[in-house]
Amino acid sequence: MTIAMISLIAVQMYWINSAFSIKNEELLRTASIGLQAFVLKLEKQENLQAIKNSKELHKNSKDSIFKSSTSNQKFSKNEHNISTETKINESNDIADSYLIALKSQALKKRISYYNIHELIQTEFSKLGIFAPFYWGITDMNNRNIVYTENNEFNEKLRQSILYVQLFPHDIVGSNYRLSVIFPDKQAYIIDSLSIFLLGSAACILLIMGIFSLTVSSLLKQKKLSKMKADFIDNMTHEFQTPLATISLASEALRDQEILESELTRNRFLDAIHQENSRLSKHVDLILQAATLEDKSIPLTLESINIHEILELAIDKQLINILNKGGKINSAFLAKHYMIHGDSHHVFNVFTNLLDNACKFSKDPPDITIKTENTKYDILIHIIDKGIGIKKEDHKKIFDRFYRINTSNRHDVKGFGLGLSYVDSIVTMHKGSVTIQSHANNGSTFSVQLPLEE
């Protein structure tokens, strides 16, 4: 896939480079045609200038012919025709002489009669060239710039491949050539190819976007597959342990001696009951996760006292905490504690959080539950002094199946579903859950829920 994407991008870049080269060649070819047209127009205007300046002399010569023909009656008819023809030829000679004199002037004076830039621009415009340009005239004998409109570009004008010979039809011949450069040629070509370039850029971005999405999807699928594999492995372990305990206890109860001993019998029955409760808890958690996966979890909304819910959650987890030699403290400081929610799922939220606080404590658990009010919400903080969570794991812990890495994946019980369930339920109640924690420094989970209106 990577090779295919690189190949497609390489093809696009090749097309862009080819289009740029073709457009550059087209510009030079068209500009050369425009310069040829300019030279012909310049010579034409020079000829017209010569005729215009000699027109008055020609008119005077013509008037003198008619005057002499009417005043001198003694001339014969043939003599009159010869005189008229002679004077007309003389007037034509005057125009030719003026043109020759004009062409023999110095170059600067010769071109000073015309706006060279405007003439070139006119010819370029006819051919669809609107790029800014500069021109200069080079003496071919010594390759020096003898006339330019901008001295800054003299060296570029001397080396320009876009030029034309000036006054090519002079009798003696001209040693001057006019060169043109486009200082912003690349920008002009890019602008003229803007639609093509935008299309190519869009195509490249589309290809890269599709590639990125595909890679991202593959990585997510790989991560999800690994997490599901870990979940199945952990679930197998979590179910095998209580099932094995129940099996052993059941087999032991078949023994007549154990049945006759009330103390021993009750101990095995308690083990069966505890492991059965543990299995039931696992099944409930998996069913909750399955319901969330379908996004069809029903909420029975009612007015509930959050402090009462917290007391029930504490009562449920108190035995586990006391069995580990721990303690749980409460500080219900919130003056407003009524919310609109589903009591069953809100209860499960705090049960899961208290269960995590107990499980992730290496030392005897020391847990505090604190409530307080903001303007429109109630905040419930569950604070523990457990192993803490690294900062890089803060966003991941609410992902389904995610479990924090430990030296042994089975040393802490659970499927990686609890916090995902907590986050989903709190979000469905238009609240939020956040964490403040550092490794080996405990954790604080804060649940924010809107108060009842």
Token couple for 6: 């690189």
Residue/partner pairs of 343-346 with CB below 8 Å, 24 or more apart:
343/300, 343/302, 343/304, 343/309, 344/300, 345/297, 345/299, 345/425, 345/428, 346/304, 346/306, 346/309, 346/425, 346/429, 346/449
Query: Within a domain: residue 424?
Result: yes
Q: Identify whether residues 228 and 85 lie together within a single domain.
A: no
**Higher-confidence residue: 392 or 297?**
392
Would you say the C-alpha torsion 157, 158, 164, 168 has a positive or negative sign? positive
Question: Residues of 49-62 as b/e, b for ≥16 C-beta within 10 angstroms?
Answer: ebeeebeeebeebe
Which parts of 347-451 are beta strand (E)? 366-373, 377-384, 432-437, 443-450
Assess whether 46 and 144 both reside in one domain.
Answer: yes
Give domain status of residue 210, yes or no. no
Q: What pLDDT, in 10s, does the model give residues 358-392? A: 888 878 899 999 999 998 999 999 999 888 888 88
The whole-model pTM stands at 0.49
Please report, for residues 33, 202, 242, the alpha-carbon distance to residue 297 in angstroms, rounded to integers and kept in the order given: 77, 42, 29
Secondary structure class of 400 (helix, strand, coil): coil
- Measured between alpha carbons, how far is 304 from 337 in angstroms, rounded to an integer? 8
Is the same domain home to 151 and 6?
A: yes
What are the two backbone dihedrals, phi and then psi, of residue 167, each rounded to the nearest 5 degrees?
Answer: 45, 60
Q: Are residues 153 and 61 in the same domain?
A: yes
Q: Are residues 148 and 283 in the same domain?
A: no
* Domain end position, chosen among 291, 313, 337: 291
Copy the structure tokens of residue 321: 């905490």
As a whole number of angstroms, the distance between CA 80 and CA 247 comes to 150
Q: Report the mean per-residue pLDDT for the chain.
A: 79
- Is 431 a domain residue? yes
315 and 182 share one domain: no
pLDDT digits (tens, 9 = 90+) for 94-137: 445 544 444 445 677 777 767 889 989 999 999 999 999 999 88
* Together in a domain, 398 and 280: no
CATH code of 265's domain: 1.10.287.130
The domain total for the chain is: 3
Token pair for 116 = 């060279």
Q: What tokens appear for 33 in the block?
A: 């045609």
Terminal C-alpha separation, the chain: 55
Residue 71 reports pLDDT greater than 80: no
Where would I find the beta strands (DSSP E) of 280-361? 302-305, 327-332, 338-341
CATH number for the domain spanning 384: value is 3.30.565.10
Domain membership of residue 253 (yes or no) is yes
- Do 358 and 395 form a contact (C-beta atoms < 8 A)? no
Q: By residue range, what is the domain housing residue 230?
A: 217-291
From CA 2, how far away is CA 28, in angstroms rounded? 39
Number of Cβ within a 10 Å radius of residue 317:
22
Report yes or no on 35 lying in a domain: yes
- Whether 29 and 143 share a structural domain: yes
Choose the final residue of a domain: 125, 158, 192. Answer: 192
Q: Which of 33-37, 56-60, 66-70, 225-229 has the highest mean pLDDT?
A: 33-37
**Percentage of the chain lying above the pLDDT 90 cut:** 22
- 361, 384 contact by CB (below 8 A): yes
18-41 average pLDDT score: 90
Section 162-188 average pLDDT: 84
Q: Are residues 282 and 318 in the same domain?
A: no
Q: What percent of the chain has pLDDT over 70?
A: 79
Same domain assignment for residues 98 and 168? yes
Inform me whether the pLDDT recorded for 394 exceeds 80.
Answer: yes
Whole-number pLDDT of residue 306: 95
How far apart CA 61 and CA 374 sit, in angstroms, is: 110
The phi and psi torsions of 177 (rounded to 5 degrees) equal -130, 145
Strand partners, 435: 445
Cα 292 from chain centre = 34
Residues 430 and 371 in one domain: yes
On whether residue 206 sits in a domain, the answer given is no
Q: Which of 245, 246, 342 is nearest to 303 (CA)?
A: 342
Domain assignment present for 76: yes
**CB-CB contact of 414 with 358 (8 Å):** no
- Same domain flag for 224 and 343: no
Is position 200 within any domain?
Answer: no
Q: List 446's β-bridge partners, or say none.
A: 381, 434
